[in-house]
Chain A
Amino acid sequence: MTKKKAEQPTESSQAAVVLEKPESQLKEMWESLSEDKAAITGLVVITFLALLAIFGPLIMPYDPNFSDMTKSFVQPGAEHWFGTDQLGRDIFSRIIAGTRISLTVGLSAVAISLTVGVVLGSIAGYSGGKTDTIIMRFMDMMLAIPSILLAIAFMAALGKGIDKAVIAIGLVSIPEYARIVRGCILSVKENDYVQAARVIGNKNSRIIFKHILPNVLSSIVVRATLGISTAVLDTAALGFLGLGVQPPAAEWGDMLGRARGFIFTAPYTLIFPGIAITLTVLAFNLLGDGLRDALDPKFRKN
């Protein structure tokens, strides 16, 4: 009897748990993500970098642009943690300063190409026919030119400066997103559940946003996280060519490029910016992988 009594509450509470209003998609995603150690590591690093980008100037030991030629190529040590570069600037301070530029460029370039690419790819993939042909042939034309060359061409038209670099890098990677989104939509579009959405009376726009895009989101998210790292590297390349970041502003790729002549004499001038880039790219990739799993109910843990 007592046993029965003891059992009953658990049963009802279990039922209550099951019947509970489902947590919102976001909360479920977060729960799944928080169990993924790699993704959390990535998220922690990204958060750290973001904080560094915001509050960097407060913790910089030196002015990142202050040049003291008497102290060029100082070995890493107590005074200069990461050493100094050929112009005697503190590398640690410059890396912190570079965080802001790299993250801003990465995120905003990806935001541009993602928005335009998803819209164009969705239209092309969903409507098909002539619209598809026109949009995709235009994308092919852009893809036919090497991306860095195209970015240089855009920069030549837009002018110098980091904001122009963002736009150029963003525009250049539109075709990649458009292609990926179109391909995914083509494969998802033929699914019965998309037809089912039509049968129950959905409008085209709702079918795209509610039934198709959520099912291609994972590939887009993964591509976008990789895109951030590509954007960081592209900025570096443009900076190296004197088109992106204008000296003396600190930017990791630019630092790498300028220090490449001292790889044997002062390797630390390359190693630290390199580590910063690698760490950022790795963090975004780890987060991207975790997000892919968290976004798909099938891969969600428990």
Chain B
Amino acid sequence: MSEVLVEVKNLAKYFNLESDFFGRPTSVLKAVDDVSFSIHKGEAFGLVGESGCGKTTIGKMLVNLYTPTRGEIVFEGTDLTKLSEEKRRGFCKDIQLIFQDPYASLNPRMTVGDIIAEPIKINKLLPSNEIEKRVTYLLNCVGLANHQRNRYPHEFSGGQRQRVGIARALAVQPKLIVCDEPVSALDVSIQAQVLNLLDELKEEFGLTYLFIAHGLNVVKHISDRVGVMYLGKLVEIAPKKELYSNPLHPYTQALLSAIPFIGPTKSKQRIILTGDVPSPINPPEGCRFCSRCFKKTDACDGYIPELREVSPGHFVSCRLYDET
């Protein structure tokens, strides 16, 4: 496998919801708790999980929107969490983000051309006379026409706006792009177009993706490896094929069984989880999933599973696969 581009080590993000008079936190939301994984150059790493499991928080920590509470983000050998604000900003041109909602992520007062040119100007990547040409090129890359550059975002459809968002992310020639559910706000026919575009751009520019999604089918389409998150923890990481054919963690099994299935053969057994996701303010002790797990035994109580490699490239965090 190719070299590691970014490695996340024991990353955690806590949000203090309430503090007492002296500023000591009394209620803490553990959005991301002790997550480690690495992304290799040129791959698309999918991150799935239900709403509120912390996948977007991880993405936002990578692009400097959140400061991690703990842990390291090692990007090409540099730990980004230890850098000063000024130096950290310098890495903006290496890691970019595509937003979920194309209607909210474009400044309504800037023309599309200005939106795409801005990152180039700020990071001083090109002399000003070459920016025009670069914007034209980027617009073409994402399938927009050059004459649309002087229009405002509200004049575009959702899919077109998302293309603008992609062009903005590409403008600085990043090495890693965090795609935060880039298609979940679009309708299905447009989803396919945008996914294919992302795929093509990955080939063309040699990009690496961290692809965050809650739909397994979307992730299946684009990812090489997939990480499954539950309540701030990574529960399973595996190559795409392995994960879809041989899911090990009970949560992954339940997720996969929820994919709608069309065909003449008898449908798979659907695993229906009971209860709701526990609050991340007071997560269950030990295994986070134990309150809803259908394979839970008494031995699971208080047992803290760790992410372990059970077969090459396949990591899972569950007591069932720990040698005891």
* Interface residues on chain A, size class: 20 to 34
- Does A193 have its Cβ within 8 Å of any Cβ on chain B? yes
Would A201 and B105 count as touching, CB distance under 8 A?
no
One of A15-23, A156-164, A267-275 at the interface: A15-23
Given A192-B104, A214-B109, answer yes or no on A199-B64 (Cβ-Cβ < 8 Å).
yes
- Does B99 have its Cβ within 8 Å of any Cβ on chain A? yes
Contact with A along B158-175 (1 / 0, CB 8 A): 000000010010011000
Count the A-B residue pairs with Cβ separation under 8 angstroms: how many?
75
Docked CA distance A214–B165 (Å): 20
Q: Looking at the complex, which one of A15, A18, A199, A297 makes contact with B97 (CB distance below 8 Å)? A: A199
With both chains docked as a complex, state the minimum distance between the C-beta of A155 and any C-beta of chain B, in angstroms.
40
Would A202 and B122 count as touching, CB distance under 8 A?
yes
Contact with B along A1-21 (1 / 0, CB 8 A): 000000000000001001100
Given A197-B107, A199-B92, A215-B109, answer yes or no on A192-B99 (Cβ-Cβ < 8 Å).
yes
Given A15-B147, A19-B147, A22-B150, answer yes or no on A200-B64 (Cβ-Cβ < 8 Å).
no
The DSSP consensus for interface residues of chain A is: helix
- Does B82 have its Cβ within 8 Å of any Cβ on chain A? no
Docked CA distance A193–B115 (Å): 10
Would B147 and A200 count as touching, CB distance under 8 A?
no
Docked CA distance A193–B119 (Å): 13
Docked CA distance A214–B89 (Å): 23
Q: Looking at the complex, which one of B65, B122, B150 makes contact with A201 (CB distance below 8 Å)? A: B122
Would B107 and A215 count as touching, CB distance under 8 A?
yes
- Does A198 have its Cβ within 8 Å of any Cβ on chain B? yes
B interface, CB within 8 angstroms of A: 60, 63-65, 89-90, 92-93, 96-97, 99-101, 104-109, 111, 113, 118-119, 122-123, 146-147, 150, 152, 154, 165, 168, 171-172
A-B contact pairs, 12 of them (CB 8 A): A18-B150, A19-B147, A195-B60, A196-B168, A200-B96, A200-B118, A200-B172, A201-B92, A201-B122, A201-B123, A215-B108, A298-B152
A interface, CB within 8 angstroms of B: 15, 18-19, 22, 191-193, 195-203, 206, 211, 214-215, 296-298
